[in-house]
């Protein structure tokens, strides 16, 4: 696990975006695992700019998002499919048919989870998996106590995660408590993992992930066992490291 500590969030986004730009230069038909949340937004904006300037192309890329809320239709404004279209896909030259988000409203979620794993394998596996991290150490929606070899499945969100994400929902809006998420085992198969974290609220999770024991209490700690993970953090997020 390589830890890169940079001055601020803008530098974190820039460093992360460079990894994607370099990968596209080497392999235009790359397979990217993508994340939602606030942390990757600046990285997405950098990649949008590079694409619109003609420096990189996503025309041959396939993408697989980490997770989706259960029981939200893809066009629901709070769905992660909607988030990805709005924040990234609608602004780049990616083929929408090559972008994948777990189907949170699938009639048979269990089959849908297996099919998601099959689709990732059929694409040749994930070249770069982009991750944020929850304050409780979750990656994707793999909450504390998740099995470290888990695969894509339905997962209950913890109270802490529901509270953290409540900022995206209005008071009278239904906030789902279940998700479909890639498992930790799924994430661990990515060839390269790029985890971004910014701000003091992530300091304890970063400390537990990097310096704590590998334990289901901090799902991100499994990445200590991954052969190629880059953790890119700003000084605030790194403030708990010894």
- Does residue 54 contact residue 144 with C-beta atoms inside 8 Å? no
- Show the binding pattern over residues 29-48: x = contacts ligand F6R (CB under 6 A), - = does not: ------xxxxx---------
Q: Does 153 bind ligand F6R (CB under 6 A)?
A: no
Cβ atoms within 10 A of the Cβ of 97, count?
7
Contacting residue, 12, 33, 117, 138, with ligand F6R by CB under 6 A: 138
Identify the residue whose tokens are 């394998």. 121
Q: Does 139 bind ligand F6R (CB under 6 A)?
A: yes
Q: Does 150 bind ligand F6R (CB under 6 A)?
A: no
Which part of the chain contacts ligand F6R (CB under 6 A), choosing from 5-13, 16-24, 133-141, 210-218? 133-141
Q: How far is the CB of 220 from ligand F6R (least distance, A)?
A: 9
Which part of the chain contacts ligand F6R (CB under 6 A), choosing from 20-28, 99-107, 127-135, 214-222? 127-135
Residue nearest ligand F6R (C-beta atom) = 132
What's the CA gap between 34 and 81, in Å, rounded? 11
Identify the residue whose tokens are 């400390």. 207
Residues with a known catalytic role: 67, 136, 138, 143
Q: How far is the CB of 81 from ligand F6R (least distance, A)?
A: 11
Strands of the sheet containing 192-197, edge to edge, are 2-6, 229-234, 192-197, 128-131, 31-34, 62-65, 99-100
Between the alpha carbon of residue 225 and those of residues 144, 148, 229, the distances in Å are 17, 11, 9
Q: Does 156 bind ligand F6R (CB under 6 A)?
A: no
- Rank residues 19 and 57 by Cβ distance to ligand F6R and give the closer one: 19
- Rank residues 48 and 131 by Cβ distance to ligand F6R and give the closer one: 131
Per CB under 6 A, which of residues 65..104 are in contact with ligand F6R?
66-67
Which part of the chain contacts ligand F6R (CB under 6 A), choosing from 98-106, 115-123, 132-140, 219-227? 132-140
What's the CA gap between 178 and 89, in Å, rounded? 25
Q: Beta strand 2-6 with 99-100: parallel, antiparallel or unpaired?
A: unpaired
- Rank residues 23 and 219 by Cβ distance to ligand F6R and give the closer one: 219
What's the CA gap between 108 and 85, in Å, rounded? 24
Cβ atoms within 10 A of the Cβ of 4, count?
14
Q: How far is the CB of 42 from ligand F6R (least distance, A)?
A: 11
Q: Does 134 bind ligand F6R (CB under 6 A)?
A: yes
- Rank residues 134 and 144 by Cβ distance to ligand F6R and give the closer one: 134
Between the alpha carbon of residue 123 and those of residues 63, 118, 170, the distances in Å are 9, 9, 37
What's the CA gap between 148 and 142, in Å, rounded? 9
Question: Which chain residues interact with ligand F6R by CB under 6 A?
Answer: 35-39, 66-67, 132-134, 138-141
């Amino acid at each position: 696990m390589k830890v890169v500590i940079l001055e601020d969030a803008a530098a974190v986004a820039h460093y992360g975006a460079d990894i994607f730009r370099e990968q596209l230069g080497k392999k235009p038909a790359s397979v990217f695992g993508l994340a939602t949340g606030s942390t990757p937004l600046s990285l997405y904006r950098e990649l949008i700019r590079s694409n619109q300037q003609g420096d990189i192309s996503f025309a041959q890329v396939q993408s697989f998002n980490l997770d989706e809320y259960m029981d939200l239709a893809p066009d629901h404004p709070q769905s992660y499919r909607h988030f990805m279209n709005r924040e990234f896909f609608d602004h780049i030259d990616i083929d929408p048919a090559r972008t994948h988000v777990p189907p949170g409203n699938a009639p048979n979620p269990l089959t849908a989870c297996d099919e998601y794993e099959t689709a990732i394998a059929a694409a040749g596996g994930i070249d770069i998996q982009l991750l944020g991290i929850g304050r409780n150490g979750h990656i994707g929606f793999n909450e504390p106590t998740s099995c470290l070899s888990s695969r894509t499945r339905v997962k209950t969100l913890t109270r802490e995660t529901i509270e953290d994400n409540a900022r995206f929902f209005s008071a009278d809006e239904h906030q789902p408590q279940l998700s479909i998420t890639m498992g930790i085992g799924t994430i661990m198969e990515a060839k390269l993992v790029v985890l971004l974290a910014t701000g003091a609220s992530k300091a304890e999770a970063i400390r537990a992930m990097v310096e704590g024991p590998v334990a289901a209490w901090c799902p991100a700690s499994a990445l200590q066992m991954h052969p190629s993970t880059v953790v890119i953090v700003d000084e605030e997020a790194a403030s708990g490291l010894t």
